[in-house]
Amino acid sequence: MEYTNITYEVTDRIAWVTLNRADKLNTLTNALLFELCDAAFKVQNDPGVGLAIITGAGDKAFSAGADIAELSRCDATSGTVQSRRGQDVFDLIETLWKPVIASVNGYAFGGGCELAMACTLRVASENAVFALPEVKLGLIPGYGGTQRLPKIVGRGRALEYIMTGRRIDAQEALRVGLVNRVVPQKNLREEVEKFAKEILAQAPIAVRYAMEAVNRGIEGSPKEGQMLESTYFGLCFATGDTKEGMRAFVEKRPAKFEGK
């Protein structure tokens, strides 16, 4: 698929996916969502990619959300389809068997905030601003925001943010756990890359199983989550990397992981 709304480049096992509509604050048109979906499959299926970073072009926005012009054409039926479309793409990103970091370089509003929340981890520049402002448009978040935000910041805070649509600056986002790190905008790329490499240096299968245990486990009961945890814990022992990791510790040397 040829991309016109995003760019996709791979360096050092990192796939950089950039929302590329800077003049429209990287708003999520349907055409962009289709490309993002294709890119997610590419990340999933390329053995040369260990992790993806999603960011926005320019220095103003990660993404200002769904394209309001497109939304304004929805009726009750197509509105549900529109919401489901966004949900499906973001679910795919959330459940990729590879970590995805949102590198939030400015406004992350509406669908932009929902996209960041679907990522495994979030790094924000100091000028980043988050919001789920849909109530200001007479809408509610429709790309998973009502479900992900409470899991990340707790029900009370999520309701406050969703019911007022108010803006959350980078420091508040850090304080409430909406982002993992805040860095100066001029260092964003290198800091996110450093973060990515910290994860890429670990045993890839163990990282994947840990993500699965957390992400799938959180959906069920604590007992089901623990079942999943012990299953993946056991499965680790079928990998060469687990043997290598423990052997390297005993031999007091850095482990050499092969993802096997």
Interface of this chain with ligand COA, residues 228 to 247, rule: CB under 6 A: none
Please list, residue by residue across 111-147, b when 16 or more beta carbons sit within 10 angstroms of its beta carbon and e when fewer do.
bbbbbbbbbbbbbbbebbbbbbbbeeeebebbbbbbe
8 Å CB contact between 162 and 146: yes
* Contact string (CB under 6 A) for ligand COA, positions 130-169, x = contact: ---xx--x-x------------------------------
Query: Of 39, 50, 57, 65, which lies in the binding site for ligand COA, with binding defined by CB under 6 A?
Result: 65
Closest residue to ligand COA, Cβ-based?
Answer: 110
Query: Of 3, 10, 24, 216, which lies in the binding site for ligand COA, with binding defined by CB under 6 A?
Result: 24
CB of 179 to ligand COA, least distance (A): 18
* Contact string (CB under 6 A) for ligand COA, positions 92-121, x = contact: ---------------x-xx-----------
Query: Of 6, 40, 64, 128, which lies in the binding site for ligand COA, with binding defined by CB under 6 A?
Result: 64
25 in contact with ligand COA (CB under 6 A): yes
Strand partners, 169: 129
8 Å CB contact between 4 and 30: no
Q: Report the distance separating Cα 119 and Cα 111, nearest Å.
A: 12
Q: Report helix, strand or coil for 201.
A: coil
Residue 114 known to be catalytic: yes
User: Within 10 Å of residue 91's Cβ, how many Cβ atoms?
Assistant: 15
Where are the strands (E) in 180-255, listed by range?
181-183
Catalog residues that contact ligand COA under the rule CB under 6 A: 24-25, 27, 64-69, 107, 109-110, 133-134, 137, 139
